[in-house]
């Protein structure tokens, strides 16, 4: 414990500058000084620990026109990435493994994106480690300047690449699954001996450092981290009827045949943390390939494909369904219809940012709640909505990463 300003804090709650300045007693931190993201005037420490005054000031600043954050454009990144050495240094990417565990347990990422170049780059920086490998799927519908900027950023790293096969991703359609499958197939060909694959979208941020994610996955003992629950009745029509796919997904009255699998259907999240053996199994197993084909005209197949495979006997890393077992939640999301007064039964407090498609794009007032949750990632962030929320989450993660490295120095 430490005492600052009359408050008691755990060591992991202290800002990274406290350690870098040599005030902490956790080893020589000088070599990590250049990696710090925090600024002298940052109030992120107070925001993360839930200080109402700091949160109020930041929320007010985020809506004042004079203080409105000017997001980086594709042109900005094309200019920044002209000199990769300067880009990597100025953007403070971590260019060496921060622990032996991380070096010996590389991860693979499938990143499915379609816009918001700055948020993509900040997500990449937040999850980047040189021993990992990153496949970026750019939506075929994305504007050419966006794709060019993504290519410029990726060109600065030998472990970041653009997926060769690009899908035109339509909300709630099979194309979202296919985008991840395209990356999965290419990642299996990578020389990086990655152990787990994680899929993310462009407005995610991790809530744990790379080392914390690695340690959590090591503790899984080869099992997948996939949300998988018994489907409520209203979700069953997602696969009981055929859906037409045009610019959107439309329900028809045509009933489908039963799924070509021996196990029951389950539902969960589109986002997973799965073993390499699981990914390889997808492409060589006839039953799974038939299941994929059958799912191509269902609604939001990404929310039942992975959940069902997680319960299917013989699938690497799968876990049988056990009634009463605690749910696995891999990603923090605030839905508008589940947020509100928790004293009156709401699952979580109101969004302090903005809702988009019923999902909260986080504001600074949401961060204290986020960092207390167990999941590995949080969705959604957008510097155009609240840059301070993005900045503070980044700083929080970086000081945790550096603090951990300092303790081992």
Q: Max alpha carbon distance in the chain (Å)?
A: 68
Angle between helices 286-295 and 174-187 (to 10 degrees): 150
Torsion sign, CA atoms 116, 121, 125, 131: positive
Contact 317, 224 (CB under 8 A): yes
- Asked about 303 being catalytic, the answer comes back as yes
Nearest by Cα to 265 from 293, 291, 296, 226: 291
- Alpha-carbon distance of 62 to 56, in angstroms, equals 10
In 73-223, at which residue ranges do the beta strands (DSSP E only) sit? Answer: 107-113, 133-138, 160-162, 196-201, 204-206
* Residue 165, phi-psi category: left (phi > 0), alpha (psi -120 to 50), beta (remainder): beta
List the catalytic residue out of 303, 338, 374, 394: 303
Q: How many CB atoms lie under 10 A from the CB of residue 135?
A: 26
For residue 89, what are the β-bridge partners? none
**For residue 356, what are the β-bridge partners?**
359
Point out the residues that are catalytic.
303
């Amino acid at each position: 414990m430490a005492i600052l300003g009359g408050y008691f804090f755990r060591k992991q709650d202290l800002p990274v500058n406290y350690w870098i300045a040599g005030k902490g007693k956790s080893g020589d931190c000088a070599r990590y000084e250049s990696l710090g993201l925090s600024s002298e005037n940052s109030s992120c420490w107070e925001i993360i620990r839930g200080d109402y005054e700091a949160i109020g000031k930041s929320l007010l600043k985020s809506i004042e026109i004079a203080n409105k954050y000017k997001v980086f454009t594709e042109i900005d990144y094309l200019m920044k990435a002209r000199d990769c050495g300067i880009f990597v240094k100025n953007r403070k990417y971590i260019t060496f493994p921060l622990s032996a565990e991380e070096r010996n347990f590389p991860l693979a990422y499938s990143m499915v994106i379609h816009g918001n170049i700055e948020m993509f780059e900040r997500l990449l920086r937040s999850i980047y480690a040189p021993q990992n490998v990153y496949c970026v799927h750019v939506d075929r519908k994305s504007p050419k300047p966006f794709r060019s900027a993504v290519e410029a950023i990726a060109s600065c790293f030998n472990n970041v690449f653009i997926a060769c096969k690009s899908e035109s991703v339509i909300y709630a359609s099979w194309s979202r699954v296919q985008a991840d499958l395209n990356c999965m197939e290419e990642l299996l060909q990578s020389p990086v001996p990655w152990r787990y694959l994680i899929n993310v979208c462009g407005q995610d941020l991790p809530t744990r450092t790379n080392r914390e994610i690695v340690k959590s996955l090591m503790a899984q003992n080869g099992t997948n981290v996939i949300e998988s629950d018994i489907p409520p009745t209203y979700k069953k029509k997602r696969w009981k009827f055929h859906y037409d796919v045009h610019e959107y997904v439309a329900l028809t009255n045509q009933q489908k045949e039963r799924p070509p699998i021996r196990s029951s259907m389950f539902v969960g999240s589109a986002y997973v943390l799965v073993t390499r053996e699981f990914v390889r199994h997808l492409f060589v197993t006839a039953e799974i390939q038939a299941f994929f084909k059958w799912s191509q005209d269902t609604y939001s197949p990404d929310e039942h494909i992975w959940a069902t495979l997680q319960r299917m006997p013989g699938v690497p890393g799968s876990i049988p369904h056990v009634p009463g077992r605690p749910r696995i939640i891999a990603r923090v999301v605030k839905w508008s219809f589940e947020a509100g007064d928790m004293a009156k039964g709401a699952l979580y407090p109101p969004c302090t940012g903005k809702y988009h498609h019923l999902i909260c794009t986080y504001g600074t007032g949401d961060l204290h709640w986020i960092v207390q949750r167990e999941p590995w990632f949080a969705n959604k962030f957008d510097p155009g909505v609240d840059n301070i929320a993005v900045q503070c989450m980044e700083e929080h993660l970086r000081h945790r990463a550096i603090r951990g490295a300092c303790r081992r120095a």
